[in-house]
Amino acid sequence: MAALWLAALQWSCAGGGGSSPPPPPPPTPGPLQVSLETVTSSVAAPVDLQNAGDGSGRLFIVERRGTIRIFRNGALEPGFFLDISSRVDTQGEGGLLGLEFHPAFAQNRRFFVHYTTMSSPLRTVIAEFRVSATNPNAVDPTETALLTLEQPFSNHNGGQIAFGPDGFLYIALGDGGGAGDPLGNGQRLDTLLGKLLRIDVDRQDPGRHYAIPPNNPFVGQTGARGEIWAYGLRNPWRFSFDRATGRLFLADVGQDRFEEINLIARGGNYGWNVMEGRQCFQPPSGCNTAGLTLPIFDYGHSDGESVTGGYVYRGVQIPRLFGVYVFGDFISGVIWGLQQDAQGNWQRTELVRSGRRITAFGVDEQGEIYMADIGGSVLRLR
């Protein structure tokens, strides 16, 4: 794996007799590495980490069982910010899987969650809640379900939700589960499964609690769902927007051989189940790759077996990590950095072997990166 290097300083000197020689270049820096600092070991199966962007300094820890805790000033707040455990089904890969705050949360108190329900058949729900007008650490129990869809199997639910720089809510959904995508959902445009969706939560179309942005790529196309922004996904486990460039990085968990990182573009087809990573899946060889967008990076199962997407680092505490996309693997516990070189190629370096089961990364209001371990801990990159 290639090491990440700082950009070399550029030196210049004016010509002319008697001028002093330029100073020597600085020594080549060593490989970039980070360490991990545990900030709490008192949470239950954390699967997402979010900040509210409201200046409160709170980090919200999503527990798979259906609860959300608040971490602030170095400690967990007592009680739960949200408890919907009575509504959440944790069978298979289900649970309370994602949290996102409205860009204007400080004014409108709105936030959104992604969970699977205790019902038959299993369903995914994207729901809206509001924080109490009198207590910023309490939630009005009234729930508005924006989107509900049936899940044919108990795995591959996706889980991330995030607002883009455009103010729309993006929603990651897996292919519905079952080995090899038996229903072919990844390549079908008539289902929301195996997709990245984009909706407007500030308007409502008739019969919906949201609106479909008119510039979504498949609006008006016969047999296609207008909510779809990108497709060909297996189990997108964490995506994020680079706060500096707006680029959308999405990690997609593979089947038996490859894990992948994608840069998502409007209307893109990211290959599943025709391809797994950069290799043919169905058929195993000679597949038709026309119109497919290949991942910017993939890795085989000798390195790890379940990718967990992260964030481009834009904090200040680790200057040499600035601009690097940080991600990891749930099985191997390795955390890597991914960075584009001058030729446009993506280079990976190992940052740390955590020994953890990495379910999620998150950032605080200052852009520092945290990591969730399903065993019950949250750690900060140093």
In this prediction, residue 325 carries a pLDDT of: 98
Give, as one character, the DSSP assignment of residue 377: E
Percent of the chain with pLDDT over 70: 92
State the amino acid at position 273 in one-letter form: N
Output the pLDDT for position 22: 52
Interatomic CA distance for residues 121 and 92, integer angstroms: 13
151, pLDDT greater than 60? yes
pLDDT band at 8 (very low <50, low <70, confident <90, very high): very low
Assess whether pLDDT exceeds 70 at residue 29: no
The C-alpha atoms of residue 259 and residue 277 are separated, in whole angstroms, by 6
pLDDT band at 33 (very low <50, low <70, confident <90, very high): confident
The per-residue pLDDT for 103 is 98
Does the structure show a pLDDT above 80 at 6? Answer: no
**Region for residue 170 given its phi and psi (left: phi exceeds 0; alpha: psi -120 to 50; beta: otherwise):** beta
More confident residue, 4 or 18: 18
Top-tier CATH class for 37-381: mainly beta
CA torsion 98→102→108→113, rounded to 10°? Answer: -20
Q: What percent of the chain has pLDDT over 90?
A: 90
Per-residue burial over 269-298, b = 16 or more CB atoms within 10 Å of its CB, e = otherwise: bbbbbbbbbeebbbeeeebeeeebbebbbb
**What pairs with residue 275 in β-bridges?**
280
Lowest mean pLDDT among 71-75, 89-93, 117-121, 342-346: 117-121
25: pLDDT strictly greater than 70: no
Closest CA to 162 of 120, 117, 103, 104: 103
Q: How confident is the model at residue 9 (pLDDT cuts 50, 70, 90)?
A: very low
359 within 8 A of 330, measured Cβ to Cβ? yes
The three-state secondary structure class of 271 is coil
Residue pLDDT, tens place only, 37-66: 999 999 999 999 999 999 999 999 999 999
Q: What is the pLDDT of residue 16?
A: 36
Q: Using one digit for the tens of pLDDT, what is the confidence trace for 343-356?
A: 999 999 999 999 99
Give the model's confidence band at 31: pLDDT under 50 very low, under 70 low, under 90 confident, else very high: low
In this predicted model, what pLDDT tens digit does every residue of 256-269 receive, in sequence order? 999 999 999 999 99
Average pLDDT of the residues of the chain: 92
pLDDT band at 14 (very low <50, low <70, confident <90, very high): very low
Which tens digits make up the pLDDT trace of 160-219?
Answer: 999 999 999 999 999 999 999 999 999 999 999 999 999 999 999 999 999 999 999 999
Residues 259, 261, 265, CA angle at the centre, nearest 5°? 140
Separation of alpha carbons 29 and 116, rounded Å: 47
What mean pLDDT do residues 269-276 have? 98
pLDDT given at position 210: 98
Apex CA 66: angle with CA 60 and CA 71, to 5°?
20
Alpha helices of 193-245 — where are they, by DSSP H? none
Residue 19: what pLDDT?
41
Residues with Cβ < 8 Å from 215, sequence gap 6 or more?
Answer: none
Mean pLDDT of 228-254: 98
